[in-house]
Structure formats: structure tokens, C-alpha cells
Structure 1
Amino acid sequence: MRRLAAAAAIIAGVALSAATDVPPSRRLRRKRNSYSVLLYSHAAGSVGSVGIAAMTDATQAAAQALDAIYGVNVRSAIPEIGVVFISGPPNSAAIIKRRVGQRVKAVLPTMVFSSPVVRPVPSSFINGTGSGASLVSSEGSRDGNPGRTLSVVDEPDYRPLQWSRVAMDADRAFNAGLKGGGKRPARVAVIDEGFWLDHPSIAHYNKELSFNFVPGEELMFNPKRSSDRDLSHGTHTSSILAGRDLSGHGTLGIAPEADLVLLKGLSDGGYGEDLGVMTAIKYAVEKGVDIISLSLGGVVDRRGQEDDPYTDYDESLTPEEAAAYIDMWTAITGYAYRKATTICRLADCAGCKLAKANTHPPHPPPPNPPKLDLKGVTIIASAGNDRADLDKTNPNKVYILADLPHVIAVSATGPIFWGRDQATNLDRFVTGYSNYGAPIDLAAPGGNIAAAYRDFNATCRVPLGEGRAALELRCYEFDAVLSACCSASATFPRAQYRRATRYAWLAGTSMAAPHAAGVAALIVAKRGARVAPDKLFAYLQQCADDRGLAGKDRRFGYGRVSAGKVVDLVF
């Protein structure tokens, strides 16, 4: 868990509609007349500089002063890290610095991303010769007639298509009764775009704690805001993590009995800004979540970035703004982690840097380390789909969330031509699109698209079990991750597949992060108590199959996570 980085939020999925994994544009763009006011008091996330109580007082005082400025509107604040989110006129920075004074370290523009399109390739379902049910009735045809709408209980058992469960030995954990539940279930939060709350795979979500942080939208996914009809990235990732057991229908999550908290930090259109994601993280910490899974990311250049004259957006950042932006994001991940330690006195923490024991290279421990109070939250995030060497490609570029302190960064693995040979190696290599480098902590199934380069038009036919329906589609799509995705009317699958189904294949480090978070949930539930972030990370290392070079390497980290190894874990 290394990192130092920042940026706003974008979904980390890979488009499957063409034979390419060209990295999506990650350029930040400003949101007009919207700002983050960063106060000096948090000192870039340092624990020893000021206590949370003092920081809260300082932020509240600054918020009151800001709200008194004509034309400035305080939208929200995170007092624990000294950040106030505001809207105001273009000259807000100068006005704020003049009126609020020395408390203000920086007035940063709110930065916004747009997400890459996440789209499976068209496929066709073929009836088997046995008694298995088809996904559509006989009147469904290639002329565009969608056929009848099927509920999820009418859909086949898709578990035979979940190669990721085989790679992680997930059935061993499931059959041993490790499902993320028990007397003290693991509480997991997924921060993403909207969710199909009525999808049976995630309908057991925690309705009391789940919450929307995107103004003007709802927690429920609204396809009218999306360019991909009713395909919900949030539903896909949350179902990978905690999709419930539907008794032989659909797919199955890694921790199906975990306490699932759905937090909407991105819009249904795939856009996200600092306010939504950061306040969702803070909320998750306050509500006692054990694990946060984030399948989103972006990049900022430490040297600042110039505006691209060929876009309609202002993408500029000064070096000072970039540095302060990094500080702001470092503070929020530090806050989540900091709940695992007692805030110490300056005299006891001289030279102490918050949780640097897991950085690269490691820092020596402080002489009087603070005692654990076991209240921390473990953040697990996708490494990003830029094919980037996080150490060498551009050392001035930093990634959120893979480069942030106290974040477990997960790269993606996947098979090649699994549809032709289900005995093929499932994770010999990290996928070509996945970022890599020293920040990578773990690997997990994310899906591969390499087969598309080798034979894009090749088709494969995979039976769903003896006497059951078979599925035929382009071979490389089987190498992606199948999970819940869509509404009861299955608008997107009908347009893409000419079939009604509430499931889809996606690939990306977006899919890897919830697989790893699911294993973390199994560990917490087996322990039956909260597990501090550093300790949970150590357990995850024990529950990983070493891949690539022996020991920790730049592509797999400490290895590909294994749900089956949780069975043997001793606390």
C-alpha cells in the first residue's frame, strides 16, 4: 500500500466492442465555478500536526467565513481533513484568500472526468439439446423482436461461465461456509455510479446505510443519463463482490452474505467529481464499513498541466494546484486509515509519517508508534487500464487511487481463449491493459481481451452444464468477467445481444478490485471482528497465490488473491 497521488473519478472498465485496449483519456477538466478550499491545518494528512477536533473547529470556522462572502455558496465540507467544497464566481480564489486569510492553503478547481464506454460485444444464445431453458422465448428473433422479458429466476445458472471463481478457488470457501456473513458479517461499501437496486443479485443491499452523493440524481441507476442504455457499471462491480446466491440462477459473488453498502459517488453518465467520491469515503468511515471497493481512477501531473486547445473544456492546473490536489486526496485516504490508530502527541510522533511502513521504499517505524484501536477502513482500488508502468512511464504522473497512501492497488488477470479450452491457465499473465509497477499490491481476475487481437471474429460455444443450454459468442468475450448489469427490461442486452438477460461481460481493473474486496470480506467475516487495515492487508498477502516472479513483483504484487486460502487462514 504505497502512494501519493490525486485526480477526480472515472470508471476503470475496458470497452469490449472493438479489438483494442487503447487507454482512455484521463485528462482532468475543471468544473466551472466550483472549487475545493484546502486549509493549512491538515498539513497534508500528517497525524501529528493537529488533532481531528482542532481540525474540525478550524474547518467549521473557515466554512462560516466562506459562506459570508457574497456570491460564494458552501456546498459541503469534510472538517476532518480541512476541506470545504464551494461554488462561486470565477475570481473566487482571489476573494477567498483576501477574506479568509492565512488559513487557506489553496483554492482548487473542482476536477471532473468522463468515463470510457464499457460495452460487451454482441453474442447469441443457442438452445441446448437437453431440458435447459433458453434465455428468450421462440418469438425472439434477429428482426429486432425482443421476445418476452425474463425474470432472473428464468435465467440459467451462469456459474459455469465464472472462470474467475475457479481461478480464486471460490467454491472451496463457499462450500466451507465462508460467505462474508455469520454472527458479525463484513460490511463492504462499493463507491460507483448508480445501481439497479431491484436486481436480485444485489437486492439484499443495506437499505438503511446505502446513499447517493451525486446532486440531482438518485441511488437507483437511471438509463436516461447513460450512453449505454441500462448497463450499470456499479451493479456489475457490486455483484462481483457480494452478488447473492440465487439457487442456481445467474452468477454468484465472492462474499454473497456480506453487508453490502451501495454508495453513489459517480453520475450515471460516468462522470465524477471530488466532492461525490471524497464525501462517500468519509461517510463509509463514519458508518463503520470494514472495506471500501473503488473501481475508478484518474491521473494528474505533478508539474501541472496545460489546457488542450482542441477540447471545449479547461484542463489546466498549475504546479501549485497539482501539489495541493495531491495533498487533498492523500488526506482523505489518510483519514480512513487513521481510524486504525490513536492520534498521538507531536512529541511521541517526531518524524512519524502516517502509515509509511508499506510504502516503497519503507520508512523506519516511529520510536513510539501509536496504539491500534481497530477502527480503520481498508480501501481497495483498481490499478487502472492505461498499460502504464507506474514507476517509469512518467514519474511525474500520479494515479488515483492506485498511487494514494493507504490504498491496496489491484491489477487485473485473465485467461486467453477460455471459451475454447476451460483448462487453460487462468492467470499466467497480468492483462495487457492493466497498469503495473511498485504500487501494485495484489492481482485479481479482471478479464482479458488479448484473444481479440489474435482472432477477433472467432466464435466459441460453451455448455452451461450437462443437458443445459449452450452459449455461443466471440471467443474473447468469454475471457471477460460475467456479472449482473441491467434492468428487468434488459434494454442494453436486447440491443447488443438481441436477447433479454440481466448479465453482461466486462473487462478491466474495475472488475479486479471487487474480487479482491470480496476476499477481504471473507477474512473479516471469518475473524468475526473488525480488522485493522495493515493487518487485513497482511492476511490478504497470506491468501494470495504467488504468480510471476517469486515474492512481490511489479505486475502481480504479492500474488493473485485466493478465496480458497481463507479456509486455511489462522488468526
Structure 2
Amino acid sequence: MNNQLRNFILISIASLCFIANSASAESYLVIGNGANKSTMKNMTKQANKIGARVTNVIAEAGVIVIEASPKQAAKMTGVMAVVPNIKVQMTTPSERISVQAANPPNTSDDDSFFDRQWGHDAVNAPEAWEAGVRGKGARVAVLDGGFSVNHPDIADNVVGAADMTGEGIEYGPNEDDPDGIFSHGMHVAGTIAAADNAFGTIGVAPEAELVLVKVLGNNGTGSFEDILEGIIFAADFGEVDVINMSLGADIPQGLGVDASLVASLRVVMNRAVAYAYKKGITVIVAAGNDGRDLNADKSMVVFPADMPHAISISATGPEGWGYDPTTDLDTQAIYTNYGRSGIDFSAPGGDYELIETNPELAFSGCAVGGAVRVCYVWDFVFSVGSDYNGIWYYWSIGTSMAAPHAAGVAALIVGENGGQMHPAKVKAEMQRRADDLGQPGKDAVHGNGRVSTGY
């Protein structure tokens, strides 16, 4: 990568990779043959019999979490599987382009950074707002890293928050972000529902409510236990219409990884997503950033994007938008996963292809909304950062940024229809309104189309 890029860029592609070690060397998920009271009772009895300590019960997914030695865990009987409480690791680059909210430029919108948000134009969000469709009556749960719940861009829309990691809900300094300003979770939440309050940015659904659920630690890692528990918490919170998960794990099939482990994790993750679905919640997830053809390459299972009831989102982006605002906003992002069987919709996630195709332009200056930055950064998605040390905003790219654009559109649809829509109906309406890009019908890059408000 160009040294100049290293000095300026924060690429949070938010791809999560498989880590073979467990969340704790002795932490296991005991997966039952079903998710019912008798199964849970039997698993707990078994755990006590072998001398293991039960640390958590996620009954809705048919799982108990135990601390035990490998020899003890191997003695469990009458269960589907006993597997390590696997961690996932989010990509956390050390470079960044960020901006502190101090004397922001005046723009045509009263949210001072709106002019930087090309993704909203791509999905026709402003047209929906003008028609009075702003997400009121919809509630979105964001499962991600830490959150600054008092950040002025989202505080008015936050109705609940919970921490599954033990760190506390706030995002803070860590080895990858010593200043504590990055906050992947805030970027996602702001894209969905930053308030229309004459400050900072604005979300796709600026009047939707937010439930913030921390399932990844400040360093970007999280266990399957925390993610499962986060899904169940969001499903049970009450009146949640949409869950956004800009996270996932690529777990290899074969390559020395026990196939039964992959199959067992698929079962338990599917139970959790299906539980939310049956509660009437539309589950939207990032498709991943490995540039893989999910039809041709079956070497990995992508959790939770592979789950039947999850809506998987690929990423699009412009090339040179800061230089030419009329440029196409819907090109396939260079990093995004694709494939007809693996992608439901595409959405704005940003791109860095300009660096490859036109480096001279990429590193020249481009002015947008009164701010001058290197041109390539304007092709990224601009959103909220932490308020740990000031009020921060920053640019980022990835299917992690695409998913919240789709979740925002889903929230607008739910709000427009008075709330409480069955997820199948939400998906059908998303498909009806989507722009059919690429090959006619469902295609490998955009799935059923690039999401749109339809206005």
C-alpha cells in the first residue's frame, strides 16, 4: 500500500476472521439437540455431573456455556455438540482519517456534515424524508462494538443499551485505537439513525429508535457466546423491528477444521437468528469483505450471513465522487463478497479503487462541503465516531458500512407502514423498491438490487 495512504487512511473493512483458540482456554458452548426446557435441564445436569461450571444459559438457542477442561468437556453426553467458545476478530487498521466536530462548514442541510454522505443520495433517502418518511415508529437494534450513548448525533434516538462483553457499553482506547475515537459501532448506528438535529451527520432513518448492544470488545474481538446472547437480548427487548449486524466470522470448511464444529455452530447461530425472525424482526448482516465469489468458493462458512433468515448485504461505492459528484455511485466495491446465492441486496459501503486506477487523482485534493481532503477519501462512507475525547466523525469502508444503509431503508419501510411488519414482508418490500442494477433480476453483485427508499 502506498505510504501516503498509510499516513492518512482508516480502512475499517470490518471483515471478521476465524481464530482457532477459544474465548477462554476452558470455555465451551454445549449445544443441545433442541432449544427446550427438558434439553436445557439435561445439559445442566450433565455439566454438573462432570464437574464443569455453568457460566451462562442461552435457552432460546439451546446452549449452555461451561468452563471445563478438555477432558471434562469430552465426557458430555446426550447433546448435539460441545465446541470451543470461538472468538471472532475484527480487522482494526491503525491508520485513520477523522475529523473533530468543531466549527463544521455550513452546507445546504442543517446537519452540517450531510454533504459528505453520498450514500444517502444513492438510496434516495432525502426524497423519502421530503415525503415525510423518516423512520418514526421503527426500532433498530445495532449489535456491534462499543457505543458513546451520549454522542449528540444519536443520543436523542437511543432507547436502550446493553453490554455482553463485560467491558461496559462505552467504546474506549485500545491497542488498535489509543485515542478511543474510531468506534465501529457508532459509525454503524449513525448511518442508520443519526438524528436530524442541526448537528453533525444524519441517518438514513433519522427518526428511528436505536437499541445499542455491545457484542464485540474495544479491540474488535467477540465470542460466539456474546453474539448469540446479543441476538436474543435484541429479540426480547421489545418492539425491535430490525437487527443490524455489521460483523461475521469466516470459518473454513476443511483445512483441518472439524466439519462437525462448523455444522454445530451453523445450527446454533441459525437458532438465534430464527428466534429473532419468529419474533418479527428483520435481520440484516454484512456479507463480508474477502472479495470471494460465494457461489464458486465454498471453502468458508460466513456467519451469520449464511443463515437462512439473515439478509446479506454486499457493498457498492463511487470512484472519484469528490472530484466529480455526478459519478456512478453503484459500482461493485473492490473488496466485497458476491455471488447470487450469498447476496440479497447491495448498498453503499464505499470503495478505494480510485487509488488503484488513478493514484494521481486519488492523492490530489478535492473539496466537498467546504472541506478539502485527498480525493480518494470522499469515496468512503462518512459517519459518527466516539465522543471519548471530543466529538469525532470519520470515514470508513466495507460491507459493515453497507449493511446499516440497508437497515436504515428497512426502518423507513417499517415506519411508513406503521411498524410491526413481518420480516418476509419487509424483505419483499425492499425488493420491490430496490434498483435492479447489473444483470436483470437477481445477480451476483447486487442480489435483488441496490436498496432504495423507492422515492
Please give the TM-score of this superposition, normalised by the length of structure 1: 0.72
Which residue, 163, 170, 177 being the options, matches 1:227? Answer: 177
Matches within 5 A, 1:52-451: 55-67=36-48, 69-70=50-51, 72-95=52-75, 97=76, 101-102=77-78, 104-118=79-93, 121-122=96-97, 134-135=103-104, 157-181=112-136, 185-207=137-159, 209-215=160-166, 217-224=167-174, 226-227=176-177, 229-230=179-180, 231-247=182-198, 249-288=199-238, 289-303=240-254, 305-306=255-256, 317-337=257-277, 339=278, 375-393=279-297, 395-427=298-330, 429-437=331-339, 438-451=341-354
CA separation in 1, counterparts of 2:428 and 2:378? 32
Maintained 8 Å contact 1:23/1:433: no
CA separation in 2, counterparts of 1:69 and 1:541? 51
RMSD of equivalent CA atoms: 2.5
Maintained 8 Å contact 2:314/2:399: yes
Change (3 A) 1:16 1:213: farther
Instruction: Indicate the residue corresponding to 2:381 in structure 1.
Output: 481
Kindly tell me the number of residue pairs found equivalent between the two proteins: 438
CA separation in 1, counterparts of 2:7 and 2:49? 50
Which residue, 12, 23, 26 being the options, matches 1:33? Answer: 26
Change (3 A) 1:241 1:40: same
Deviations 1:182-206 (A, max 9, x none): xxx1111000000011211111243
CA separation in 1, counterparts of 2:227 and 2:20? 16
Looking at secondary structure, tell me which structure has more strand per residue.
2
CA separation in 1, counterparts of 2:378 and 2:57? 44
CA separation in 1, counterparts of 2:356 and 2:193? 32
Query: Quick check: which has more Rg, 1 or 2?
Result: 1
- What percent of counterpart residues are identical? 35
Maintained 8 Å contact 2:14/2:246: no
**The 10-residue stretch of structure 1 (513-522 or 81-90) with the greater mean CA deviation from structure 2:** 81-90
CA separation in 1, counterparts of 2:343 and 2:300? 16
**The 10-residue stretch of structure 1 (264-273 or 528-537) with the greater mean CA deviation from structure 2:** 528-537
Instruction: Indicate the residue corresponding to 1:471 in structure 2.
Output: 371
CA separation in 2, counterparts of 1:511 and 1:502? 17
Maintained 8 Å contact 2:291/2:335: yes
Give the C-alpha shift of residue 261 in structure 1: 0.3
Instruction: Indicate the residue corresponding to 1:523 in structure 2.
Output: 413
CA separation in 1, counterparts of 2:380 and 2:92? 15
**The 10-residue stretch of structure 1 (160-169 or 230-239) with the greater mean CA deviation from structure 2:** 160-169
SS in 2 for 1:280: helix
CA separation in 1, counterparts of 2:11 and 2:207? 36
Deviations 1:292-335 (A, max 9, x none): 000001112333x43xxxxxxxxxx3222222222222222222
Give the C-alpha shift of residue 408 in structure 1: 0.3
- Unmatched segments (≥5 aa) in structure 2: 1-5
Change (3 A) 1:225 1:74: farther
The higher relative CO (CA closer than 8 Å, separation ≥ 6) is in 1
Maintained 8 Å contact 2:193/2:206: yes
Query: 1:56 is matched by which residue type in structure 2?
Result: K
Maintained 8 Å contact 2:351/2:379: yes
Change (3 A) 1:122 1:253: closer
Deviations 1:512-556 (A, max 9, x none): 001000010011111113111111100110121111111110110
Change (3 A) 1:335 1:434: same
Query: 1:84 is matched by which residue type in structure 2?
Result: I
Deviations 1:51-70 (A, max 9, x none): xxxx1232134224424542
Maintained 8 Å contact 1:380/1:513: yes
Query: 2:211 is matched by which residue type in structure 1?
Result: V
Give the C-alpha shift of residue 116 in structure 1: 0.9
Change (3 A) 1:16 1:287: farther
CA separation in 1, counterparts of 2:436 and 2:48? 54
Query: 1:176 is matched by which residue type in structure 2?
Result: A
Deviations 1:358-400 (A, max 9, x none): xxxxxxxxxxxxxxxxx4211000010000001112x242111
CA separation in 2, counterparts of 1:20 and 1:286? 34
Maintained 8 Å contact 1:60/1:79: no
